[in-house]
DNA sequence: AGTACATATATGTAGGATGCATATACAATG
DNA sequence: CATTGTATATGCATCCTACATATATGTACT
């Protein structure tokens, strides 16, 4: 043993060290899977099952296969990837995906917006670790904040 | 003019410089609003309408009021904030919110998970700007990647 | 031949988050 | 008394995603 299949891994889901109180309380972006897939496909053509393993190296401990495959079909519908069946290799047929020009554009666009978003997070952390916001009163009329 | 009310601002929504091709393609976090509210309330008690202005300084250009108020009620149901009506000031009654102990715990928990997530983004950027992943073949049997 | 397992893709369903539209009400101002 | 700003709230539709489940093929082993 020690070699573990994807089928095994996806059955486990850590609940974290805080108990079930905070299940689902994670900072995750929406639609994260799409850019991750595109980034993989930018350099190598690949298929669903393999992409699952790739994404695991990202921070997705165990992606849901259903979510992944559905996302891939959706991405193809949107024209940011395209696929062909590959039957030459042994085992079940694979749907090989490759990125399109639109996909590359999408990826670039997303990366740009990610920079913006990182600034938001920096702001958040500065406020979280540091003092409260420093531009407070600004208006005596509405000075109704209760200091705690 | 020049002084603009929240009611005005929320009617505008920039579509960005890329046309409508990429509308909605942004790196946005899930559930971002909750920690932002909690962070605000950690230092100052406040109410919905004011929190809208606060959040605007974050990167939320114009939060949806509906979303905000609904989120606040939901947060109260979960016990991470609590509220009382304030009628002493002029104008319509305000529902003043304050953070609870559970809310502080939630915030801390979220901030921790945010660190983790930032690492994911760093990984993403390193891969995006740099070379493809460097630990590729690892298994000759499955060497079916097509270099592009 | 038969059984178990890894590989591979896919759908049905349900719940949660969120955007947009809309409704309501109070107070100040002219 | 009409308009604007302040303030809170609900209904509806849509998107995202987790979970469960279905199906099929190839390989290894007995």
String of DSSP letters for B93-145: -EEEEEE-HHHHHHHHHHHHHHHHHHHHHHHHHHHHHSPSPS---S-GGG--P
**Which A residues, 24 through 63, put their C-beta within 8 Å of a C-beta on chain B?**
25-31, 35-36, 39, 42-46, 50, 54, 57-59
**Is residue B66's beta carbon less than 7 angstroms from any atom in nucleic acid strand C?**
yes
Q: Please report the pLDDT score of residue A13 as a whole number.
A: 36
In the structure, how far is the CA atom of residue B139 from the C1' atom of nucleotide D16, in angstroms?
34
> With 0-12 CB in 10 A as exposed, 13-18 as middle and 19+ as buried, what is A102?
middle
**Which A residues, 62 through 101, put their C-beta within 8 Å of a C-beta on chain B?**
89, 96, 98
Higher pLDDT, A75 or B12: A75
A125: closest CA of chain B, how far (Å)? 8
Q: Please report the pLDDT score of residue B56 as a whole number.
A: 76
**Is residue B60's beta carbon less than 7 angstroms from any atom in nucleic acid strand D?**
no
CA distances in angstroms from A136 to A120, A139, A140, A143, A146, listed in the order given: 19, 8, 10, 9, 12
In chain B, how long is the greatest CA-to-CA distance? Answer: 75
Q: Is A4 on the interface with B (CB under 8 A)?
A: no
CATH of A29-127, one of 3.40.1390.30, 1.10.10.10, 3.40.50.720, 3.30.450.20: 1.10.10.10
Task: Give the mutation candidate from A16, A27, A87 for the B interface (greatest B CB count, under 10 A).
Answer: A27
Contact A120, A59 (CB under 8 A): no
Interface predicted TM-score (ipTM) of this complex, two decimals: 0.77
Q: Which CATH architecture describes the domain B28-129? A: Orthogonal Bundle (1.10)
The answer to whether B39 contacts A116, with C-beta atoms less than 8 Å apart, is no
Share of chain B above pLDDT 90, in %: 43
**Rg of chain A taking only CA atoms, in angstroms:** 22
**Rg of chain B taking only CA atoms, in angstroms:** 22
**Which A residues, 104 through 123, put their C-beta within 8 Å of a C-beta on chain B?**
105-107, 109-111, 113-114, 116-121, 123
Orientation angle between helical segments A33-43 and B101-129, nearest 10 degrees: 20
Q: Is the pLDDT of residue B125 over 80?
A: yes
**Is residue A92's beta carbon less than 7 angstroms from any atom in nucleic acid strand C?**
yes
The answer to whether A121 contacts B118, with C-beta atoms less than 8 Å apart, is yes
Q: Could you give phi then psi for residue A95, rounded to 5 degrees?
A: -95, 105
Q: Label residue B115 by pLDDT band (50, 70, 90).
A: confident
Q: Is the pLDDT of residue B104 over 50?
A: yes
C-alpha–C-alpha distance, residues A126 and A119, integer Å: 10
The answer to whether B39 contacts A107, with C-beta atoms less than 8 Å apart, is no
The answer to whether B148 contacts A30, with C-beta atoms less than 8 Å apart, is no
Q: How many residues does chain B have?
A: 148
C-alpha–C-alpha distance, residues A92 and A94, integer Å: 6
Structure-block tokens of residue A112: 């740009």
Structure-block tokens of residue B25: 């393609």
| Distance spanning both ends of chain A, measured CA to CA | 57
B132: left (phi over 0), alpha (psi -120 to 50) or beta: beta
Structure-block tokens of residue B147: 């270099």
Angle at A28 between CA A24 and CA A32, to 5 degrees: 130
Nearest CA in chain B to A87: B144
Complete edge-to-edge strand list for the sheet that includes strand B46-47: B46-47, B94-99, B81-86
Q: What is the mean pLDDT of each run of 10 residues along chain A (148 residues)?
A: 42 39 74 93 94 79 89 95 91 95 94 87 89 45 40
Residues ≥6 apart with Cβ < 8 Å to B148: A43, A44, A45, A98
Residue with tokens 């939060």: B63
Q: Label residue B92 by pLDDT band (50, 70, 90).
A: very high
Structural domain spans, chain A: 29-127
Residue with tokens 């949806």: B64
Contact B31, A132 (CB under 8 A): no
Helix, strand, or coil here: A110?
Answer: helix
**Of B25, B120, B148, which has the smallest distance from its Cβ to A110's Cβ?**
B25
């Amino acid at each position: 043993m020690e070699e573990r299949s994807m089928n095994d891994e996806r059955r486990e889901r850590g609940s974290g060290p805080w108990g079930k109180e905070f299940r689902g309380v994670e900072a995750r972006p929406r639609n994260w899977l799409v850019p991750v897939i595109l980034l993989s496909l930018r350099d190598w053509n690949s298929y669903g099952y393999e992409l699952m393993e790739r994404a695991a190296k990202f921070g997705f401990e165990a992606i849901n296969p259903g979510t992944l495959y559905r996302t891939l079909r959706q991405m193809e519908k949107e024209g940011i990837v395209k696929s062909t069946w590959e039957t030459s290799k042994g085992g079940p047929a694979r749907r090989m995906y490759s990125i399109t020009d639109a996909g590359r554009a999408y990826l670039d666009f997303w990366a740009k917006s990610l920079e913006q978003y990182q600034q938001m997070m920096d702001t958040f952390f500065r406020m979280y670790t540091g003092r409260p916001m420093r531009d407070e009163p600004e208006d005596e009329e509405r000075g109704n904040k209760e200091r705690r």
